[in-house]
Amino acid sequence: SDLQKQEERGELLQPLIFVLLVLCSVLLYFKVSLMDPGFVKPEEEMKEGENKGQGVVIPQIPGDIRLRRCGYCLVKQPMRAKHCQLCQHCVRRYDHHCPWLENCVGERNHPLFIVFLSVQLVVLLWGGHVAWSGLYFEQSWEWLQHNIFLLVSFLLIFIFTIVVLLLLVSQLYLISCNTTTWEFMSSHRISYLRHSELENPFDQGIILNLWRFFC
């Protein structure tokens, strides 16, 4: 049959890979949006010994910085945690609240969020290539009527690709510096950054920052 001949020529391999990538992207979306991003639980409040231990790991942070109790959910916030008013929880290593996910990006789901963006970018680039290869331009109304859907699809894919690419690049840059979106945007309002002698006391070099984040 024609299907068997296409399979023998390898013409079904690329569509199959594309479908698998789309499926992987959808599964990653639900995984990142539904999982716990690192909510701080009341029973997980850090003890004084753990607080001192954290000062050993990051000696550049002044010793007079004390963990504060959240005014909303009343838990003692670990360093780099922030209360999200949309999720009504404090999130460990809070990066940002993503409206597309309806969830925070924090300590637990941040690496998966980067994987999701990477897979999504591959899908968009592939889809954009397919849409562009199907276009042939003619200056006629009849051509526009027959190709309007493909043209609009390509423009939408192009816009989404730019957005995802910029987000992924900015996220990888912040990760390589061992900082978060919240810390980058609000460093003047965060006590452990405002009183630190260094601009970023968590930065331990690009390689070590990436290793600790992903591994």
pLDDT at 169: 97
pLDDT one-digit tens code per residue, 18-76: 999 999 999 999 999 999 999 998 766 545 444 444 443 444 455 555 667 888 888 88
pLDDT one-digit tens code per residue, 113-139: 999 999 999 999 998 888 877 666 556
Q: Read off φ and ψ for residue 104, nearest 5 degrees.
A: -80, 155
For 26-65, b/e burial (b = at least 16 CB within 10 A) is eebbeebbeeebbbbeeeeeeeeeeeeeeeeeeeebeeeb
Q: Which residue has the tokens 């499926």?
A: 23
Greater confidence (3 vs 82) lies with: 82
Q: Which residue has the tokens 């300590």?
A: 107
Q: Provide, rounded to the nearest whole percent, the portion of the chain with pLDDT above 70.
A: 78
**Which CA distances in Å does 60 have to 2, 4, 64, 124?**
68, 65, 12, 42
List the domain boundaries for the chain.
Answer: 2-37+101-214
Between CA 164 and CA 98 the distance in angstroms is: 13
User: Where in the sequence numbering do the catalytic residues fall?
Assistant: 98
Would you say 175 and 114 are in contact if contact means Cβ atoms under 8 Å apart? yes
